[in-house]
Amino acid sequence: MLVVAVLLAVFALPRPAAACSCPPKQSPGAALADSHAVFAGRVVRLRQPGPQVALTSTFPFFTYGVPAHAPLHVTLEVSQVWRGPSQRTTDLYTARFAAGCGFLFVLGREYLVYAVENAREQLVTYRCSRTSELGDAGEDLAFLGPGIRPAAGSPPSAVWGWALWGAGACVAAAALAGLWRRRW
C-alpha cells in the first residue's frame, strides 16, 4: 500500500510546465559552425522594450503595454571574437523571460556568446545555445583557442550610427543654407 501511495505521489501529481525545453547541448565545434557570431564580452547595457499600442476587436478597442514576445536588447563590450564582425561593441537580442528560452544576462558580467542572425539580420541568442558566463566556459575556450581582439580603431556600433546621422544632418543643413542664400 505504501508503494502504491508513493508511486501515485510521484506520477499523479501535477508538475510545473516547462515552456522552454532544450535538446542536448551541441559540442563547441558544432555550435561554432552553426553560429553567425561567437565572441566574449561584458554586458554594458540592458534595454527593456517599450510599451506598444495594439488594436483589438473588443472594447476599448486597443491595449497598451509591453508584449510578452518583445525581446530584451543587450549591448556588450567585446573583448575577443572567434566568428563574426570584429567591433568593440555588439548589440544582440534575447527573449525577456527564461520560459521563452531567453538567456538571463546580468549587467557588468562577462559572457561567451554564441549568436545567430534573425530575419532582421539582428544577432540573437537563447538559453539553449552554448552562451554562458565566461567563468563557466572553460571547455569552449579550450576548444576555441585565442580569439582576436576588436580593432582599437573600430568605433562602437552605437557611436558609429550617431556619427552617420550627425554627418547627414550637417550635409542637409549646408544644402538648405545654400538654397536659402541663393533665393535671397
Residues 60 and 104 in one domain: yes
Going residue by residue through the chain, which has 184 residues, state the pLDDT in tens, using 9 for 90 and above. 544 444 444 444 444 455 678 888 899 999 999 999 999 999 999 887 666 677 778 887 767 665 566 678 899 999 999 998 889 999 999 987 766 788 889 999 999 999 999 998 999 998 899 999 999 999 999 999 999 998 765 454 444 454 545 555 555 566 556 655 666 5
- Same domain for 40 and 123? yes
Q: Are residues 132 and 163 in the same domain?
A: no
Amino acid at 150: P
Say if CB 129 and CB 156 are below 8 A apart: no
Within this chain, do residues 109 and 124 fall inside the same structural domain, yes or no? yes
Distance CA 64, CA 30 (A): 42
Q: Check if the beta carbon of residue 90 is closer than 8 Å to that of residue 150.
A: no
Q: Are residues 78 and 62 in the same domain?
A: yes
How far apart are alpha carbons 105 and 73 in whole angstroms?
Answer: 10
Q: What is the CATH number of the domain that holds 29?
A: 2.40.50.120
Q: Are residues 83 and 136 in the same domain?
A: yes
Going through 66-146 in order, the beta strands assigned E by DSSP cover 72-83, 89-94, 110-117, 123-124, 132-133
Integer Cα distance of 84 and 90 in angstroms: 10
Q: What is the DSSP string of 57-77?
A: SSTTSEEEE--TTPPEEEEEE
Are residues 169 and 128 part of one domain?
A: no
Report CA Rg, the chain.
Answer: 24
Query: Does 15 fall in a domain?
Result: no
* Residue 10 counted as domain residue: no
Same domain, 181 and 97: no
Q: How many helices (H) and strands (E) does the chain have?
A: 4, 8
pTM exceeding the 0.85 threshold for the entire prediction: no
Give the CA dihedral 72, 74, 80, 85, nearest 10 degrees. 80
Q: Which domain holds residue 172?
A: 154-184
Strand partners, 94: 72
Classify residue 4: in a domain, yes or no: no
Return d(Cα 94, Cα 103) in angstroms, integer: 6
Same domain, 42 and 72: yes
Number of domains in the chain: 2
- The answer to whether residues 37 and 99 belong to one domain is yes
Asked if the structure places residue 34 within a domain, the reply is yes
